[in-house]
Amino acid sequence: MTAFAYELATLLRAQEQARVGDPEGAYAMPWYLVIGTPGSGRTTAIKALSMSWPYGDTAIPMNLPEPLCTYWMPEKAVFIEPESVVLGPGRTHGKLQELCNELKDKRPREPIDGMVLVVSAQQLADSTDENIEELAKELRRYLIEVAQALAADVPVYVVVTAYDSLWGFGDAFKWTPERRDEEPWGFALRPDVAPAEIPDHVKQQLEGLGARIESMCFAKLSGEEPADVRSRAFQHLLEARDLLRKLGDFMHIIAMANSFERAPWVRALVLGSGTPGTGNRLRYHMAELTSLGLQTPAESGTQQPGGMPMHALIDAVLLPERDLVPTRVRWRDDILLLILLIGGILAWIALAVLALT
C-alpha cells in the first residue's frame, strides 16, 4: 500500500457519490493529472476552465494534516494536483512513481485520461533564455516520468495562464459582449500527427496564434480609442511577440524527440488569464531602457481588466479525447477472450469424456 492509497480511495468514494449507479464505476469521469511548478497558477487555471461545480468548487476534503495531492471534482472531470512533496524542486524522490502506481491500482484499465501542463506566462516573460530551458527540461522530466510509470503515451494539454500580466493587456483585450462567443486562444493538433512532427506543428500553430494576437492589437491601433490606449495596445503587441518567442522555445524543448526517450504527446495549448488583470508591468527591452536612466512606469493607466478566458478547453478538446489513451480491457470484459476460454474448457471436457469412454 502506498502513501496515496487513502487519498485515492477517498476520491473514488466522492466520485461514486456524485455518480450514483454509474455502470462505469471508477471510470465514470475522466481523470487528469495537473503538472506544473509550485506557484504556477494550477488551481486558478483549473477554476478558470469554464466548468460547472455542482459539488462545490472547493477541493475534496482528505481529513489529513498534509495531503500529498489536492483533488478537484467539477461536473465532468477529476483533476489531481500534486503538491510540492510530489512535484517541484524540493520533492521527495519516488513520490511521483508512487502516485502512478496507486493510480494503476485504482484504475488498472486507464489510470488517467491525460495530463494538464500549467505554465505561467508571467514566469516565461520574466525569464531569461537559460531559465526557460531549465524550466522546460524540469517539466518535461515530470511528463516523461508519468508516461514511463504508466507505460503509455498520455495526452498532454498545455495551459498558459497569467497572460493578463503583460503590459497593455486590458487595452488590447478589452472585454465586450460580442467577444463572448469567440474561439479559444489556442490550438489542438490532429490525433494522427506523428510524434516526430509535433514540434513543427506546434511552431506553425504558435505563429498562427501570434498573428491572431497581432490582429487584435492592430484593430485597437486603427480604432477610435484615446491615444494612450492605442499606445498601450501597441506596446502589448511587442510584449506578446517576445512572450510567444519564449513560449516557442519552451514548447520545442517539451515536444522535441530524441533517441533516448519518447517525447511527451502534446495535443493542445490554450492561452489565457485565470483572474483577468490590466497588465501593469512593462517588460519589453526594459533592461536597455533602464541602462539609459529611464524608469519603469508604476501604473499603466489601464482603466479596466481585459478578458482572455480559457473557456471551451474542457468541452472542445479534453472530453472528446478522453478515449485517446489506450484502454486495458479487463479479461472479464473481453468478449473474444471469454469465447476462447469457454471453448477451451468445453474442448477439455470433451477430451476428458472421450478418454474415459
Per-residue pLDDT tens over the stretch 215-243: 999 998 888 888 888 888 899 999 999 99
User: What digits encode the pLDDT tens for the residues 127-142?
Assistant: 999 999 999 999 999 9
pLDDT at residue 129, as a whole number: 94
Higher pLDDT, 228 or 5: 5
pLDDT at 334: 57
Whether residue 353 is predicted with pLDDT greater than 90 in this model: the reply is no
With cut-offs at 50, 70 and 90, classify the pLDDT of residue 333: low
For the range 192-200, what are the long-range contacts, defined as Cβ-Cβ under 8 Å and sequence gap of 24 or more?
195/257, 195/262, 195/263, 195/265, 196/257, 198/255, 198/257, 198/263, 198/265, 198/266, 199/251, 199/252, 199/255, 199/256, 199/257
**Span 271-278, average pLDDT:** 82
How much is the pLDDT for 291?
Answer: 56
Q: What is the mean pLDDT of residues 70-80?
A: 94
Q: How many angstroms separate the CA atoms of 81 and 78, rounded?
A: 10
Q: Helix (H, G, I), strand (E, B), or coil: what is residue 272?
A: coil
